[in-house]
Structure 1
Amino acid sequence: MPLSTTLRLLAKARGLSAADIATAIPRAGVATVSAWLQGEKLPGKEQLDALARTFGVPAGALLGELASTLDPARTKGEHDLLAAYRGLNTKQQGALLEVARSMQPSPARTSPTKTPRSRSR
């Protein structure tokens, strides 16, 4: 889930407006907090720490999705697949996982190889 969505959900769950949040965050006005909530800007480290304290959650909980989007090992397709997966219900997620697992190549079975013997004459 994007940081902006997480922030909006936490604000709604705690009944906080952008103005309420802004009063708890150093160097952040209502316009800045609104931009975070809309995903137009990202807060800095000090501001993330203050947001985490305000919402009573670990800062890592706010950064989880953000960090994954910066993972150079993930392709655009992986991000798209994850987003699509999250939009499914539990039954659909299970079916998708089953299909994905069935598409994986089975582990190569290694059998002992026989080496030809050279005959001496």
Structure 2
Amino acid sequence: MPLGTTLRLLAKARGLNATDIATAIPRAGVATVSAWLQGEKLPGKDQLDALARTFGVPAGALLAELASSLDPARTAGEHELLAAYRALDSRQQGALLEVATSMAGTPRKSAPRAPRKAAARRKAKA
């Protein structure tokens, strides 16, 4: 999700508006904070750190999606596919992964299996 969307969601979750956020960010006026929230501008490093502190999240959490969106190796189609994947529930995501990995001819990494009951009993007896 774009940084502006992330900031808007965090602000809403914390009950903060642009004015509230601007008072916590050095050298940032309400107009600048509003531009960040709308995705029209990007904050600088010091401002990102201050935003992270204001929202109580790691700065990396604010930057994770931004960094991936700037990845020159990722195509527009990959961005669309990721957005579509994130809109699915976990069952649908699993089905999509099955289809994609079978089409690509690559085996899907499965989740680790829970230990069998007999093995657990033998371990408990030992």
State whether TM-score is above 0.5.
yes
Structure 1 segments, 4+ long, off by >6 Å, are none
- C-alpha deviation, 1:106, in angstroms: 5.0
Superposition pairs for residues 67-86 of structure 1, below 5 Å?
Answer: 67-86=67-86
Q: One-letter code of the match for 1:29?
A: G
- C-alpha deviation, 1:89, in angstroms: 2.0
Q: Distance in 1 between matches of 2:73 and 2:88?
A: 24
Q: Distance in 2 between matches of 1:64 and 1:90?
A: 21
- C-alpha deviation, 1:91, in angstroms: 2.1
Residue of structure 2 in register with 1:99 after alignment = 99
Percent identity reads 85
TM-score, normalised to structure 1's length?
Answer: 0.83
Residue of structure 2 in register with 1:110 after alignment = none
TM-score, normalised to structure 2's length?
Answer: 0.80
In terms of mean alpha carbon deviation, does 38-47 or 85-94 score higher?
85-94
Residue of structure 1 in register with 2:52 after alignment = 52
Residue of structure 1 in register with 2:31 after alignment = 31
Give the helix-richer structure, 1 or 2: 2
Q: 1:24 to 1:95 in 2, by over 3 A?
A: same
Q: Distance in 1 between matches of 2:19 and 2:88?
A: 34
Residue of structure 2 in register with 1:15 after alignment = 15
The alignment yields a C-alpha RMSD, in angstroms, of 1.3
Q: 1:49 to 1:106 in 2, by over 3 A?
A: closer
Q: Distance in 1 between matches of 2:106 and 2:54?
A: 48
- C-alpha deviation, 1:90, in angstroms: 2.0
Q: 1:106 to 1:32 in 2, by over 3 A?
A: closer
Q: One-letter code of the match for 1:26?
A: P
Q: Distance in 2 between matches of 1:19 and 1:31?
A: 9
Question: CA-to-partner distance for each residue in 1:47-78, whole Å, 9 max, x for gaps?
Answer: 10100011111100000000001111211111
Question: CA-to-partner distance for each residue in 1:9-51, whole Å, 9 max, x for gaps?
Answer: 1111111111000001111111111111111111111110100
